[in-house]
């Protein structure tokens, strides 16, 4: 029969025999004991992958590449325009650093199954900390650096870490973020007290240490180096043993800890690097995210190193560090083959440099593809990037819970035709369906809830940390036999998926279910608009009405009032009067999380006059006051 050659054949091969498909994918991983059982349907809430295999993620990320002769290849390139520093760590050097930290952790009594919380900026030590935990079988839980003390405390009380790895501070444009005082307040508030904290002292702001609890990370490393401890054997772990717990952002009350196992995670991520992203061992791959988010876990740290790539760890912004050419510099300087970032980054670049004038300063001849995820990639931004970069611009869709793409355009298997507004087709492992509120499939073109038929593929969450019933209630109960993505969208006649927003972004206007994402697409097509957001606000007559917020490109001369009128006309022309779209408010900026997600839910509460709390993940709290002021003259709460 021969090897499947393209997406259609490979997806059909998975559908026909999932066990054989994933067994073959698992053969690309080094196992200490290869799994006999590929999938145990009776285990866990929906089954478990590779339950009897023995493996170690750190060994697959590092040791095997050193053994294969890649020891001198760069593994991690640290590039920090915020501190003006760069550092290259080869695979051999990274392995050595991971072994040293692993020895230190073990000397503090940390072992298999213990939790270690990381509260770190984008520095190499963050990745080294994750890999050291993986090596000794400890379960890491990374909390985004600079997260508020209360939110950090809730995660400490849920994960119950034995030890914390943290830095004295983080660096943002024009300011220092005081990590250590936040950590101190969090530990003071938390009921659970970690036994020790290792503090990476950064020269921008060294921190005072708490006697008996805190330890200078650099001093610990120097002492261990002087002791010349030798290699550290990787801990044998079952495929189903947890690698990490990552708390989903924006949660209220008790946080949700997404569990990732060792075996399935490695198999899925390794497969995705070449099949989806089209990169091979030796290539430079850059995910412009943060290790505190799932993209950072999957595609800054683990997937590139599993594949033998060089990964870029960037401490900077798409604009302002120092200019809108920052991304082009990094791509050119480090010979990046593929970039993965959020659409919001490209909207920021486009806003500051609409003609991409900075691009001409750099040689991007080796650059092959741009991947976007995290927010809906509006067609106008995608087309702009395609025109300026002259490479494929590929939207794909996944979640913290899945750990890798649910829907994408698999460049490594042969790029499928791009349809602007669609992340394309399901990846092998995902049987994606669109259903109505009763769980019945809907016709092509009709909007519904997006669900995935169980079992979920390797790499996806098997449960929530210490909360199996909550896992089933949150994800499996609403549509029995399916995983609820909580996203809404439709499938076209060609099988392409269109993700229109969270199910709570579908608004009901006088009985008509309308997508705020669809309205955002229309607004984004206006030549003066750099980025936008649409929310559904309460209305006494229609139940809900859409409110649009638009940020203008640099250099736009038209008045905000004129732009607003144009935007209203555009939506009414393209979607129709049924949208009841009457308000487009020009604002200087939109409130976002530090990972670039627009805080539509909080904007809606402000518009509705409801009580709201400051989101822990917000990038700049002052923007919410700006939104409230903009709404005062434009919208009356409740209609």
Structural tokens at position 183: 């950590």
CA distance 256 to 217: 29
Instruction: Give whole-number Cα distances, 148 to 166, 407, 597, 617, in Å.
Output: 14, 33, 17, 8
H-run or E-run covering 216: strand 214-216
Supply the mean pLDDT for the chain. Answer: 93
Q: Quick one: pLDDT band at residue 511, thresholds 50, 70, 90?
A: low
Q: What pLDDT is stored for residue 398 in this prediction?
A: 96
Task: Indicate the range of 10-19, 353-362, 516-525 predicted with least confidence.
Answer: 516-525
Distance CA 392, CA 375 (A): 18
Looking at residue 636, its pLDDT comes to 72
Q: State the Cα–Cα distance between residues 397 and 333, nearest whole angstrom.
A: 29
Residue 54 has pLDDT above 80, yes or no: yes
**Contact status, residue 427 vs residue 408, Cβ threshold 8 Å:** yes
In whole angstroms, give the CA distance from residue 287 to residue 268: 17
φ/ψ of 131, rounded to 5, equals: -70, -35
Q: Which of 244, 297, 255, 257 is nearest to 148 (CA)?
A: 255
Cα separation, 439 vs 343, in Å, equals: 31
Task: Give the E-state strand segments of 540-582 in sequence order.
Answer: 543-552
Residue 503 has pLDDT above 80, yes or no: no
Per-residue pLDDT for 1 more than 50? no
- How much is the average pLDDT of 465-493? 95
Q: Running DSSP on this structure, what letter comes out for residue 610?
A: -
**Range ranked top by mean pLDDT from 77-81, 442-446, 497-501:** 77-81
- In 286-296, which positions are buried (b, 16+ CB within 10 angstroms) versus exposed (e)? bbbbbbbbbbb
pLDDT more than 70, % of the chain: 97
pLDDT score of 539: 81
Q: Give the chain's length.
A: 639
The CA distance from 626 to 14, in Å, is 50
Q: How far apart are CA 388 and CA 372, in angstroms?
A: 15
Is the distance from CB of 590 to CB of 531 less than 8 angstroms? yes
pLDDT for residue 324 is more than 90: yes
CB-based contact 294:303 (threshold 8 Å): no
Mean pLDDT of 470-488: 94
Answer yes or no: same fold for 7-248+258-316+396-488 and 510-632: no
pLDDT value at 100 more than 80: yes
Long-range contacts at 489-492 (CB < 8 A, ≥ 24 apart): 489/434, 489/447, 489/448, 489/450, 490/434, 490/442, 490/444, 490/445, 490/446, 490/447, 490/448, 491/432, 491/434, 491/444, 491/445, 492/419, 492/422, 492/444, 492/445
Q: How confident is the model at residue 508 (pLDDT cuts 50, 70, 90)?
A: low
What residue spans of 287-409 are helical by DSSP H?
Answer: 294-295, 303-307, 326-333, 343-352, 379-389
Mean pLDDT comparison of 138-147, 246-255, 449-458, 565-574, highest-scoring range? 449-458
Q: Which residues contact 458 (CB under 8 A, 6 or more apart)?
A: 22, 25, 49, 50, 263, 264, 265, 267, 268, 429
pLDDT tier at 362, thresholds 50, 70, 90? very high
Q: How far apart are the first and last CA of the chain?
A: 64
Residue 249 has pLDDT above 70, yes or no: no
Which residue would you say has higher pLDDT here, 407 or 614? Answer: 407
The residue written with tokens 């610990």 in the block is 220
R_g of the chain computed on alpha carbons: 24
pLDDT, one tens digit per residue, over 74-98 is: 999 999 999 999 999 999 999 999 9
7-248+258-316+396-488 — its CATH code? 3.40.50.12780
Residue 59, both tokens: 């060994």
Q: Where are the alpha helices (DSSP H) in 178-334?
A: 179-189, 217-226, 263-275, 294-295, 303-307, 326-333
The reported pTM is 0.85
Query: Quick one: pLDDT at residue 541?
Result: 72
CB 612 within 8 A of CB 605: yes
Q: What does the alpha-carbon distance between residue 443 and residue 447 come to, in Å, rounded to a whole number?
A: 9
Q: Are 591 and 602 in contact (CB under 8 A)?
A: yes
pLDDT at 248: 84
Tokens read off for 130: 């994750």
Give DSSP secondary structure letters for 74-86. EEEEEEETTTTEE
Please tell me the distance from the alpha carbon of residue 409 to that of residue 564, in angstroms, as a whole number: 35
Residue 513 is predicted with a pLDDT of: 58
Give pLDDT tens digits for 384-414.
Answer: 999 999 999 999 999 999 999 999 999 999 9
Q: Where in the chain are the domains?
A: 7-248+258-316+396-488, 510-632
Tokens 């791959």 label which residue?
Answer: 285
* Homologous superfamily, domain 510-632: ANL, C-terminal domain (3.30.300.30)
Q: How far is CA 377 from the centre of its chain?
A: 14
Band of residue 250 on the pLDDT scale cut at 50, 70, 90: very low
Describe the crossing of helices 18-26 and 263-275 by its angle, rounded to 10 degrees. 90
User: CA-based angle 193:196:201, to the nearest 5?
Assistant: 125
What is the pLDDT averaged over residues 498-509? 74
pLDDT at 315: 98
Q: Which residues, other chains included, contact 576 with Cβ-Cβ below 8 Å and sequence gap of 6+?
A: none
User: Where does 31-174 show beta strands of DSSP type E?
Assistant: 39-40, 48-49, 54-55, 74-80, 85-90, 115-119, 139-142, 163-167, 170-172
Please name the residues in contact with 53: beta carbons below 8 A apart, sequence gap of 6 or more. Answer: 26, 31, 33, 34, 35, 238, 239, 263
The answer to whether residues 65 and 73 touch, using CB atoms and an 8 Å cutoff, is yes
């Amino acid at each position: 029969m021969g090897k499947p050659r393209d997406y259609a054949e490979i997806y059909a091969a998975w559908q026909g025999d999932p066990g054989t498909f994933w067994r073959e994918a698992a053969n690309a991983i080094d196992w200490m004991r290869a799994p006999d059982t590929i999938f145990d349907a009776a285990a866990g809430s929906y089954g478990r992958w590779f339950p009897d295999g023995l493996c170690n993620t750190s060994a697959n990320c590092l040791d095997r590449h050193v053994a294969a002769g890649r020891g001198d290849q760069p593994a991690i390139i640290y590039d920090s325009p915020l501190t003006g520093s760069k550092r290259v760590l080869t695979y051999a050097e990274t392995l050595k650093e991971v072994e040293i930290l692993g020895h230190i952790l073990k000397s503090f009594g940390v072992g298999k199954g213990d939790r270690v919380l990381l509260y770190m900026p984008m520095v190499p030590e963050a990745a080294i900390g994750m890999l050291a935990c993986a090596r000794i079988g400890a379960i890491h839980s990374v909390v985004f650096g600079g997260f508020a003390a209360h939110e950090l405390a809730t995660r400490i009380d849920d994960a119950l870490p034995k030890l914390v790895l943290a830095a004295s501070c983080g660096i943002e444009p024009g300011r220092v973020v005081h990590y250590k005082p936040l950590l101190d307040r969090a530990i003071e508030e938390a009921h659970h007290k970690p036994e020790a904290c290792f503090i990476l002292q950064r020269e921008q702001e060294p921190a005072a240490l708490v006697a008996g609890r805190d330890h200078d990370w650099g001093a610990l490393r120097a002492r261990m180096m002087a002791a010349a401890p030798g290699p550290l054997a990787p801990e044998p772990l079952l495929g189903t043993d947890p690698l990490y717990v990552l708390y989903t952002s924006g949660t209220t009350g008790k946080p949700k800890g997404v569990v990732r196992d060792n075996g399935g995670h490695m198999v899925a991520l390794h497969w995705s690097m070449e099949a989806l992203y089209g990169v091979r061992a030796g290539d430079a791959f850059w995910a412009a995210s943060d290790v505190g988010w799932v993209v950072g876990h999957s595609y800054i740290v683990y997937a590139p190193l599993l594949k033998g790539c060089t990964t870029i760890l960037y401490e900077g912004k798409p604009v302002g560090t120092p200019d809108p050419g920052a991304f082009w510099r990094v791509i050119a300087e480090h010979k990046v083959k593929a970039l993965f970032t959020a659409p919001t980054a490209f909207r920021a670049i486009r806003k500051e440099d609409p003609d991409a004038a900075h691009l001409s300063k750099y040689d991007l001849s080796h650059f092959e593809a741009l991947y976007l995820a995290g927010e809906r990639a509006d067609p106008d931004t995608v087309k702009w990037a395609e025109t300026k970069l002259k490479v494929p611009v590929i939207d794909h869709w996944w979640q913290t819970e899945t750990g890798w793409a649910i829907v994408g355009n698999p460049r490594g298997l042969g790029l499928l035709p791009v349809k602007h507004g669609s992340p394309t087709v399901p990846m092998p492992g995902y049987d994606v369906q669109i259903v109505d509120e009763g769980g019945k499939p809907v016709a092509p073109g009709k909007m519904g809830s997006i669900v995935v038929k169980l079992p979920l593929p390797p790499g996806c969450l098997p449960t929530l940390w210490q909360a199996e019933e909550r896992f089933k209630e949150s994800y499996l109960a609403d549509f029995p036999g399916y995983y609820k993505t909580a996203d809404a969208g439709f499938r076209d006649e060609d099988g392409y998926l269109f993700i229109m927003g969270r199910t709570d972004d579908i608004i009901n206007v006088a009985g008509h279910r309308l997508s705020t994402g669809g309205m955002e697409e229309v607004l984004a097509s206006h030549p003066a608009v750099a980025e936008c957001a649409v929310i559904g606000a309460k209305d006494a007559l229609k139940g809900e009405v859409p409110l649009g917020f638009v940020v203008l490109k640099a250099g736009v001369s038209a008045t905000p009032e004129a732009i607003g009128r144009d935007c209203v006309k555009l939506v009414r022309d393209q979607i129709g009067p049924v949208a009841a779209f009457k308000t487009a408010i020009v604002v200087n900026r939109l409130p976002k999380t530090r990972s670039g997600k627009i805080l539509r839910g909080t904007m809606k509460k402000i518009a509705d006059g409801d009580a709201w709390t400051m989101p822990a993940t917000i990038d700049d709290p002052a923007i919410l006051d700006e939104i409230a002021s903009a709404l005062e003259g434009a919208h009356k709460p409740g209609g």
